[in-house]
Amino acid sequence: MSILELRHVEKIYGERENQVNALKDISLQVEEGEFAAIVGTSGSGKSTLLNLIGGLDNPTKGEIFVKNREIGSLSRKELTIFRRRNIGFVFQNYSLMPVLNVYDNVALPVTFDRGKHINREYIEELLRELGIWEKRGKYPNELSGGQQQRVAIARALVNKPHMLLCDEPTGNLDSATTIEVMGLLKASSRKYKQTILMVTHNEAIAQTCDRVIRIEDGRIVTGKRRFPAKGGDDAC
């Protein structure tokens, strides 16, 4: 079963002469547990694609199914709950809460949803693996860009989401930390059967993923899997 399916998705921003056709007839299936890189030049539609998959914006046409639910059919409230339970996000702008320290930023999604079940051991494990345990009492403005990015990654993983959507999660990290973070994401994806979609400009990183989805001018030009998914065909 595909965890994610897009059927003929189109996204147009703006009106009339200001129209931008950001995504054009995108059809795509992603299987549970797949780690896919999304690559393409600046402005090709990568962030738009992630935003639509995460239900942060609506497609102009087409349908998006996550775990067999068409997210466009959910009410705002249903979508908020569905997203919180199933999807983790790591954005280009870390979107951390400035008034919360590192630990509380990471615990925030749990506090929202399952306040009584904060898994302190898991939070500690994440913070240690990401090398920010020592910073747990600091506030976002006391951290470097790369440290903030790692806090955002910990926060996205804390609910063990079925699907993780990352927009350049290693963009601000040095190469050694990038390798560590990629290792952590891969281990997490294997351990919890998480599906990860990761936008990256780094071709070498993309090549370490199960699959590379390449977007050019709003269209998928290649999305082949390196290894055919179980029972699936090789096309996107």
**What's the order of all strands across the beta sheet hosting 195-199?**
87-90, 163-167, 195-199, 35-39, 211-216, 219-222
Contacts of 229 (CB under 8 A, 6+ apart): 31, 34
User: Does residue 20 interact with ligand ATP by CB under 6 A?
Assistant: yes
User: Does residue 13 interact with ligand ATP by CB under 6 A?
Assistant: yes
User: In the stretch 33-62, what mask flags binding to ligand ATP with x, by CB under 6 A?
Assistant: -------x-xxxxxxx--------------
Closer CB to ligand ATP, residue 119 or residue 202?
202
Tell me which of ligand ATP, Mg ion, none is bound by residue 43, counting a contact when its beta carbon lies within the kind-specific cut-off of 5 to 8 angstroms.
Answer: ligand ATP
Burial of 16 (0-12, 13-18, 19+ CB in 10 A): exposed
User: In the stretch 23-62, what mask flags binding to Mg ion with x, by CB under 5 A?
Assistant: ------------------------x---------------
Q: Three-class SS of residue 196? A: strand
Strand partners, 12: 21
Cβ 54 to Mg ion shortest distance, Å: 13
Cβ 26 to ligand ATP shortest distance, Å: 12
Alpha helices in the chain (DSSP H): 46-53, 76-86, 102-114, 120-129, 145-157, 175-191, 203-206
Rounded CA gap, 213 and 38, in Å? 5
User: Does residue 86 interact with ligand ATP by CB under 6 A?
Assistant: no
Interface positions with ligand ATP (CB under 6 A): 13-14, 20, 22, 40, 42-48
Interface positions with Mg ion (CB under 5 A): 47
